[in-house]
Amino acid sequence: MTKTGFIVANLFRRRTRTILTLLSVIMAFLLFGLLQSVNTVFNSGADFIGATRLIVQARVSFTTALPVSMVPKLEAIPGVARVAYQQWFGGVWQTNTPIFMFSVDPVRYRDAYPEWKMPDAQWQAFERTRTGMIAGRQLAEKFGWKLGQRVPISSQIWPQKNGSKAWEFDLVGIFDGKDEDWQKRTNLAFMQQDFYDEANQFGIKGRTNFFILKLAPGADAKAISKTVDGMFENSPDETKTQTEKDFNISFVKQIGDIGLIVRWILFAVFFTLLLVVGNTMAQSVRERIPELAVLKTLGFSDGSVLGFVLAEALALVLLGGLVGLALASLAGAGVEKITGGQFLLELDASVWLLGVAAIVLMSLAVGLLPALRARRLKIVDALAGR
Amino acid sequence: MSERNAMTESMVEVRNVTKVYERGKQQIEVLHGLTLSIPRGDFVALMGPSGSGKTTLLNLIGGLDKPTSGEVLVGGARIDQLSSGQLARWRAHNVGFVFQFYNLMPVLSAEGNVELPLLLTRLTKAQRRKNVAVALEVVGLADRAKHKPRELSGGQEQRVAIARALVSDPQLLVCDEPTGDLDRKTADEILGLLQVLNKEHGKTIVIVTHDPKAAEFARRTLHLEKGQLLEQAA
């Protein structure tokens, strides 16, 4: 028997109670791991989003379309290497499976996104085939699409001139990502802007949701974004220019201030945990007053007894916390797989470090008062049941 | 001659000790100027009615409490002058305790309970195990080493408690009603064991008991009443 063995034995003296408490700790740290990853993604930026591109949208909202005629003005700005544009198509596969699908100018889009890899022949086919469509590898594999296939896709928003929302495309290309990060994101599809302009019922031509500005190496992204917005200030098409990271964050922030929501959820979770585990520890010490007195009788110092109780609290929270964080890691990988890399929830080193810090602080918070009680108890009174 | 040399025959010296407890606003004087001496190797029974101060005296001798005034020397050391940390260390090496209700750790086996005091030493795991085995052998429970307290009878639990009290090889054993929760036969067995520890292993033993039959196992009986020593009976 060792001191550690003694601590663990005491931890599981009431097995059911300990297991239930452990489960609550595991759940709390699972939530912590996932939510903190969300926070990290939206505040620190994901690796694949570089500052080599800027997104220009209407200042009012990205749902407000901008004229494609802005392209020459944007391309004339020093530091802008190429301009592409994307219009949200809102595709639906079969009954009810939404697809991330945009209409683009194939040549411009290829130049703006060198990270997508596809044989030249397929890029050329996309360029010359009006009804052509290219799909990411993950998307194609998911639905079993093959090159040359006629793919029927509905639009959530845009009916054709005949009133039907059912469109048909020729799959002329399947693209992949340049590396693992980009390969995880190949669940997109693109159609030709010209086809969209020609075929949509609303007669909308030459409009797009946002521009992508591919920057020249060494270009000052901040300065260019100011230039763009300054250029269109007080015009019918005022713009808001930001990095891709900020664009994605602001997209999700339509729901609400994600960071604030996450912090409040975590606060509620950990406050509840504090009450649950704190109560468990307090109860555990209360039950063992005579035993703690006997330990002191045997020669264990006040400090040792305090140490035993604190160690027990740490063991409980550490075990539950590490399991919770490990499960969060697995769950994050699962979310990444399900969303085809759209939503990366990776528990990086910062989340683990924060998790360990939370474990230590939580252990102190739940263990300190019972430990101090154990430290202060008088042997004679405790043995006499007073 | 130093005080320590003069007291070499004496294991326990209690000199003019008074103990006052505070219960709320009340002050209760439990021991009044008590003086006694217990020679090394003695086996003393402390008897007296409830509230006479027997357990209080035992707690002072065992270093679980300190007198309000007076001196307590055990093995030549003034334990009334030690800090709580020093007293804890002193208890670990110098005195073994046996309680009425055994006070074993329910989460540990018999050998785990006996090993507990040895966690305070620098002994290796192997050495600890050896000492535990010897202690359990002495009390006749070597074959029950792996059993938890709930799997033992009252008498067996008390034997484990005695083994735990012995394992650090203290010179002094203090026992508070060690047979109070046992039937006559088992009580006699336990008291017989204590006699063996006294006669064959030279342990100085002080027991508190209500039971006159238990006191018969001791060499001497001291009677307390209202915090004072009445007489010494051989």
Q: Parallel, antiparallel, or unpaired: how do β-strands A91-93 and B26-39 relate?
A: unpaired
The pLDDT of residue A160 is 78
> Between A349 and B149, where is the model more confident?
B149
Angle at A241 between CA A235 and CA A247, to 5 degrees: 135
| Same-domain check for residues A125 and A201 | yes
Place of tokens 């010179």: B171
Say if the Cβ atoms of B85 and A299 lie within 8 Å. no
Average pLDDT for residues A163-174, to the nearest whole number? 89
Q: Which domain-ending residue is among A187, A209, A237?
A: A237
Q: Is residue B21 part of a domain?
A: no
Q: Is residue A51 part of a domain?
A: no
The pLDDT of residue A42 is 62
- Exposure b/e, A38-77, CB count within 10 A at least 16 = b: bbbbbeebbebbeebbbbbbbbeebeebbebebbeebeeb
Q: Is residue A146 part of a domain?
A: yes
Domain count, chain B: 1
Q: Is residue B138 part of a domain?
A: yes
Respond yes or no on whether ipTM tops 0.85.
yes
Place of tokens 């042997």: A379
The pLDDT of residue A45 is 45
The pLDDT of residue B112 is 95
Domain count, chain A: 2
Helix-then-strand count for chain A, H and E: 15, 13
| Same-domain check for residues A297 and A343 | yes
Q: Is residue B6 part of a domain?
A: no
Average pLDDT for residues A225-239, to the nearest whole number? 91
| Chain A environment of B122 (Cβ under 8 Å) | none
The pLDDT of residue A44 is 52
Rounded distance between C-alpha atoms, residue A117 and residue B149, angstroms:
71
Terminal-to-terminal C-alpha distance of chain B: 30
| Chain A environment of B89 (Cβ under 8 Å) | 299, 301
Average pLDDT for residues B50-62, to the nearest whole number? 92
Residue A47: pLDDT band with limits 50, 70, 90: very low
| Same-domain check for residues A221 and A113 | yes
| Same-domain check for residues A223 and A363 | no
Q: Which CATH number covers residue B92?
A: 3.40.50.300
Residue B6: pLDDT band with limits 50, 70, 90: very low
Task: Judge whether residue A2 has pLDDT over 80.
Answer: yes
Q: Is residue A250 part of a domain?
A: no
Q: What is the mean pLDDT of chain B?
A: 90
Task: Judge whether residue B2 has pLDDT over 50.
Answer: no
Task: Judge whether residue B4 has pLDDT over 50.
Answer: no
> Between B163 and A350, where is the model more confident?
B163
| Same-domain check for residues A92 and A188 | yes
> Between A263 and B82, where is the model more confident?
B82
The pLDDT of residue A343 is 63
Residue A344: pLDDT band with limits 50, 70, 90: low
Give the model confidence (pLDDT) of A142-156 as tens digits: 999 999 999 999 887
> Between A182 and B106, where is the model more confident?
B106
* Amino acid type, B111: E
Q: Where are the alpha helices (DSSP H) in chain B?
A: 3-6, 54-61, 84-94, 110-115, 125-138, 154-166, 184-199, 212-215
| Same-domain check for residues A263 and A226 | no
The pLDDT of residue A339 is 64
Pick from B24, B80, B34, B28: nearest CA to B54: B34
Q: Is residue B197 part of a domain?
A: yes
The pLDDT of residue B7 is 37
| Same-domain check for residues A145 and A199 | yes
The pLDDT of residue B234 is 45
Q: How many CB pairs under 8 A join A and B?
A: 71
Q: Is residue B74 part of a domain?
A: no
Q: Is residue B12 part of a domain?
A: no
Residue A165: pLDDT band with limits 50, 70, 90: confident
Rounded distance between C-alpha atoms, residue B192 and residue B186, angstroms:
10
Residue A341: pLDDT band with limits 50, 70, 90: low
The pLDDT of residue A314 is 94
Global pTM value = 0.72
The pLDDT of residue B39 is 94
Average pLDDT for residues A354-378, to the nearest whole number? 93
CA distances (Å), origin A279, targets A285, A332, B85: 10, 31, 30
The pLDDT of residue B5 is 43
The pLDDT of residue B231 is 59
Chain A: give the shortest CA distance to residue B82, in Å.
13
- Exposure b/e, A200-213, CB count within 10 A at least 16 = b: beeeeeebbbbbbb
Rounded distance between C-alpha atoms, residue A182 and residue A312, angstroms:
45
Average pLDDT for residues B156-162, to the nearest whole number? 95
| Same-domain check for residues A12 and A79 | no
Does B117 touch chain A if contact means CB atoms closer than 8 Å?
yes
Q: Which domain-ending residue is among A176, A203, A237?
A: A237
Q: Is residue B7 part of a domain?
A: no
| Same-domain check for residues A39 and A108 | no
| Chain A environment of B65 (Cβ under 8 Å) | 379-380
Pick from B102, B88, B80: nearest CA to B13: B80
Q: Is residue A252 part of a domain?
A: no
List phi, psi (to 5°) of A177: -95, 160
| Same-domain check for residues A214 and A68 | yes
Residue A261: pLDDT band with limits 50, 70, 90: confident
| Same-domain check for residues A194 and A339 | no
Say if the Cβ atoms of A298 and B92 lie within 8 Å. yes
Q: Which domain-ending residue is among A237, A269, A303?
A: A237
Task: Judge whether residue A48 has pLDDT over 60.
Answer: no
List phi, psi (to 5°) of B171: -85, -20
Terminal-to-terminal C-alpha distance of chain A: 31
- Exposure b/e, A166-187, CB count within 10 A at least 16 = b: ebebbbbbbbbbeeeebbbbbb
| Same-domain check for residues A221 and A348 | no
Say if the Cβ atoms of A298 and B120 lie within 8 Å. yes
Which of A86-100, A232-246, A334-348, B48-62 is predicted with the least confidence, judged by mean pLDDT?
Answer: A334-348
Domain hosting A373: range is: 3-45+257-383
Average pLDDT for residues B125-139, to the nearest whole number? 94
Element (H, E) at A84: strand A80-88
> Between A162 and B179, where is the model more confident?
B179
Residue A67: pLDDT band with limits 50, 70, 90: very high
The dihedral through the CA atoms of A283, A284, A287, A288 has a sign that is negative
Interface test with A, best of B64, B122, B172 (most A CBs within 10 A): B64
Give the model confidence (pLDDT) of B172-229 as tens digits: 999 999 998 888 999 999 999 999 999 999 999 999 998 899 999 999 999 998 888 8
The pLDDT of residue B233 is 45
Give the model confidence (pLDDT) of A94-144 as tens digits: 878 888 899 999 999 999 999 999 999 999 999 999 999 999 999 999 999
Q: Is residue B85 part of a domain?
A: yes
Instruction: Name the residue among A1, A297, A302 with its Cβ closest to that of B84.
Output: A302
Helix-then-strand count for chain B, H and E: 8, 10
In A4-23, the residues whose Cβ lies within 8 Å of chain B are 5-6, 9-10, 12-13
Rounded distance between C-alpha atoms, residue A379 and residue A353, angstroms:
40
Task: Judge whether residue B116 has pLDDT over 90.
Answer: yes
Instruction: Kindly identify which residue of chain B lies nearest to residue A302, measuring between CA atoms.
Output: B85
Angle, helix A289-298 to helix A258-287, in steps of 10 degrees: 70
Q: Is residue A53 part of a domain?
A: no
Task: Judge whether residue B154 has pLDDT over 50.
Answer: yes
Say if the Cβ atoms of A9 and B108 lie within 8 Å. yes
Task: Judge whether residue A49 has pLDDT over 60.
Answer: no
